[in-house]
Chain A
Amino acid sequence: EVQLVESGGGLVQPGRSLRLSCAASGFTFDDYAMHWVRQAPGKGLEWVSGISWNSGSIGYADSVKGRFTISRDNAKNSLYLQMNSLRAEDTALYYCAKLGAGGFDYWGQGTLVTVSS
């Protein structure tokens, strides 16, 4: 059974940093691209970042470019999101998602990031 479990969320002050993790199991992690998607309270889905199976291709939404860094450790079956210079508008539930044949076929349950003083 595919499982994606996010962790690392919490309350953080504006301008500070946070690192999210996603532990994957139930599939061959290093065969698949992985992504982060966020959802602000009461709002829609926003793609944040994605990384290819071998970290050779990486993409970011304009809203986080230069502040967030995605990475993965295939030996540990883990995906990460380093978030720096956090802003109030980064407050959201952050999901990690596995890329399947065309779409994101498995999602975690999310980890909540709240940016507030």
Chain B
Amino acid sequence: DIQMTQSPSSLSASVGDRVTITCQASQDISNYLNWYQQKPGKAPKLLIYDASNLETGVPSRFSGSGSGTDFTFTISSLQPEDIATYYCQQYDNLSYTFGQGTKLEIK
């Protein structure tokens, strides 16, 4: 099974900061990598699919990049409403794996 290593596990940043989260796959997954945002008590929300495609309606300050085994998720200018836990997710045929999550807090 493909394992996903997401880092950091937690992150504190100020409003307006550029925030970066990384995800590493245990083997080549091409661009089959998604990013989700989950706020407390809510279902996850898809932000980025296939590594770099912005889901409809998601603000452009969110972006993703990478291919193969190394991926990056970026918030270009952190807003107060971005406080949440973020997860990467890989998919390979009908097998999916989430990263451990990154809890983002405001400094």
Supposing A44-B101, A50-B96, A57-B94 touch, asked if A101 and B43 sit within 8 A by C-beta, the answer is no
Interface check A84, CB cutoff 8 A: no
**Residue picked from A47, A50, A58, A100, most chain B C-beta under 10 Å:** A47
Which A residues are in CB contact (< 8 Å) with B74? none
C-alpha spacing A110/B42, complex, angstroms: 9
Supposing A45-B38, A45-B44 touch, asked if A105 and B55 sit within 8 A by C-beta, the answer is yes
User: Per a CB cutoff under 8 Å, which of B50, B87, B98, B100 touches A101?
Assistant: B50
Main secondary structure of the interface of B (DSSP, over half): strand
- Distance (whole angstroms) from the CB of A77 to the closest CB of chain B: 19
Supposing A62-B1, A109-B43 touch, asked if A103 and B49 sit within 8 A by C-beta, the answer is yes
Q: Are B49 and A100 in contact (CB under 8 A)?
A: yes
User: Per a CB cutoff under 8 Å, which of B87, B94, B101 touches A58?
Assistant: B94
- Distance (whole angstroms) from the CB of A55 to the closest CB of chain B: 12
In the complex, the chain A residue whose C-beta lies closest to that of B85 is A44
Report the count of interface residues on A (CB-CB < 8 A).
23
**Residue picked from B1, B98, B99, most chain A C-beta under 10 Å:** B98
User: Per a CB cutoff under 8 Å, which of B1, B34, B38, B100 touches A103?
Assistant: B34
In the complex, the chain B residue whose C-beta lies closest to that of A103 is B34
- Distance (whole angstroms) from the CB of B57 to the closest CB of chain A: 10
C-alpha spacing A101/B91, complex, angstroms: 12
C-alpha spacing A26/B43, complex, angstroms: 18
Q: Which of chain B's residues 28-82 have a Cβ closer than 8 Å to chain A?
A: 32, 34, 36, 38, 43-46, 48-50, 53, 55
C-alpha spacing A44/B84, complex, angstroms: 12
C-alpha spacing A105/B53, complex, angstroms: 13
C-alpha spacing A14/B38, complex, angstroms: 30
In the complex, the chain B residue whose C-beta lies closest to that of A58 is B94
- Distance (whole angstroms) from the CB of B45 to the closest CB of chain A: 8
Q: Using a CB–CB distance below 8 Å, which chain B residues touch chain A? A: 1, 32, 34, 36, 38, 43-46, 48-50, 53, 55, 85, 87, 89, 91, 93-101
Q: Using a CB–CB distance below 8 Å, which chain A residues touch chain B? A: 35, 37, 44-47, 50, 52, 57-59, 62, 95, 100-105, 107-110
